[in-house]
Structure 1
Amino acid sequence: MAIILADSKIEKVNWETFREIELADDDLFIYELFDGEIMKRSAPSLIHQRISRKLLGKMDAYIEEKKLGEVFSAPVDLNLDEHNAFQPDLAFISKERSFLIEDDDYIKGAPDLVVEIISPGTVKKDRVIKKDLCERFAVREYWLVDPLNKGIEIYIMQEDKYVLHDLQEITGKISSTVLNGFELDLGHIFGEEIQEEK
C-alpha cells in the first residue's frame, strides 16, 4: 500500500486516519507520515539492527544509572502533529517530559533526542526530511549514524536552528549535550564491521 499525494487537491492524511489503517499480518514494511503523505520503507538491514541494538544498550544503561528518563527503539510511533509521524530508530524522553508518553502507546510531541541510522534507501529521509522535522519541532538533539562511513553526527538546537555539535568517525568518542556526561566510543558501535574489513 502506498498513498501518493501529488495532486494538491487531494486531502492530506491525518494522524487519526493513519493510526486506523489496517495492514496485512504478513506486511513487513514500515509506514510513516510526512506532511500528510504516507510513505513506506523496507525493514532495516541486519547491520542497521546490530548498530541500533548496541546504541540502545549503551544509552539505556547510562539513562537507567542516572535516572534520566526513558529511551525507546523502533518500532515506536512519534507523533509530532496532525500530519507528521514517523518511527525514529531511537528516541529519548527525559523524566521531566514524561508527559509526552501518550497512554503508554506512542510519543506525542518532540522528544529530547532522536537517533536515526542511515540506510541506503533512507538517506534523504534521515538527512533532510526527518532532520528538518526535528528541527522544526525543536528536538533538542538529533543524531545521524552512518554505518557506511562508520561515523556519527550530532546536531543541537541553537537559536531555533540545528548546528553541528560533534562529528566522529571510525574510533573516536562522541558526546551528548542532552545526556549530560554521556560519551560513546565509536569502536564499540562499529567495531565488528571494522574487524570484518581487515
Structure 2
Amino acid sequence: MALPVQKNNRYTYAEYLTWFEDKRWELLDGVAYNIAAPSRRHQEVVGELFYQIRSYLDDKPCRVYAAPFDVRLREPEQEDEQITHVVQPDILVVCDESKLDEKGCLGSPDLIIEVISPTSISLDYVKKLALYEKYKVKEYWIVHPIDQTVMVFYLGDDRQYGKPGIFTEDSQLKSRIFADLEIDLQQVFASP
C-alpha cells in the first residue's frame, strides 16, 4: 500500500485533497487514517439502512448520502483548507441544505451512521464518538453487524451524548430527530 502520508504528522484538508484518489482517507485531529475496503456483510447492512432511510426521506427536505462522502468539521473562523477533521461516515443525513457543497458537507450532519468493522472499532466507539459529540451531531448510530446491535447516541439538552439506546435485531429502531422514522433491524441484519 503506497501511503502519501508519514506517521506522526498532522495534516489539513488542503493536503488531504492532494492524496491518491484510489484510497479512502479520514482526518481526525489532523491524523490521517486509511480506510480499508468494507466487507460484503458491511455493505449489505449499509445498503439496507440506506434504502430504509432514503425511502423515509422521499418527500422530506433532508438528504441522505453514503460513503465515500466527505464531512468537514471545522472550528469557527477556520478556513476550509485549515480543517483537520474530515470523515466519511457510512451513512449521513443532512437537513440544512446550506451545509452541502460540491465537496460534500461542511458542518455537522443531523445523523451519522457508522457500521463497524474489525479495523474501525476504536475509531467509531472512541474517537468519532467524541468528535461527533463535540461538533453536535444530533444522532450517532454505531451498527455492529456481527452482534446484530445498534447503539444510538442522542444529543441531550446539555448538548452532550448520554447513555445510548441499544437496539437488537428483533426490535424497531426509532429515531428521536425523525419522529416517525422506524428502522426494521430484522431486515437490516437479514442474511441473504
Render the CA deviation track for 1:157-190: whole Å, top value 9, x for unaligned.
Answer: 1112112352111211110011221011210100
CA distance in 2 between partners of 1:34 and 1:168 (Å): 28
Q: How does 1:82-97 map to 2 (within 5 A)?
A: 82-94=83-95, 97=96
Structure having the higher helix fraction is: 1
Q: Which amino acid aligns with 2:190?
A: G
- Say yes or no: does 1:60 pair with 2:54: yes
State the Cα distance separating 1:64 from its structure 2 match. Answer: 1.1
Q: Secondary structure of the residue that 1:31 maps to in structure 2?
A: strand
- How many residue pairs get aligned? The number is 181
1:77 has 2:70 as partner: yes
Are 2:37 and 1:3 equivalent residues in the alignment? no
Hey, which bits of structure 1, 4+ residues long, moved more than 4 A?
none
Cα distance in 2 for residues equivalent to 1:18 and 1:41: 13
C-alpha displacement at 1:37, in angstroms? 1.4
Contact 1:153–1:164 at 8 Å: present in 2 too? Answer: no
| Structural RMSD (CA) | 1.5
Gaps of 5+ in 2: 75-82
Q: What does 1:139-178 correspond to in 2, within 5 Å?
A: 139-158=137-156, 159-178=158-177
Where does residue 29 of structure 2 map in the other structure?
Answer: 35
CA distance in 1, matches of 2:51, 2:69: 17
Q: Say whether residues 1:111 and 2:109 are aligned partners.
A: yes
Q: What percent identity do the matched residue pairs reach?
A: 25
Q: Which stretches in structure 1 are left out of the alignment for 5+ residues? A: 194-198
Question: 3-state DSSP class of the match of 1:116?
Answer: strand
Q: Secondary structure at the match of 1:50?
A: helix
Q: How far 1:42 sits from its partner (Å)? A: 1.1
Point out the structure with the larger strand share: 1
Aligned to 2:186: 187
Q: Residues 120-131 of structure 1 correspond to what in structure 2 (within 5 A)?
A: 120-131=118-129
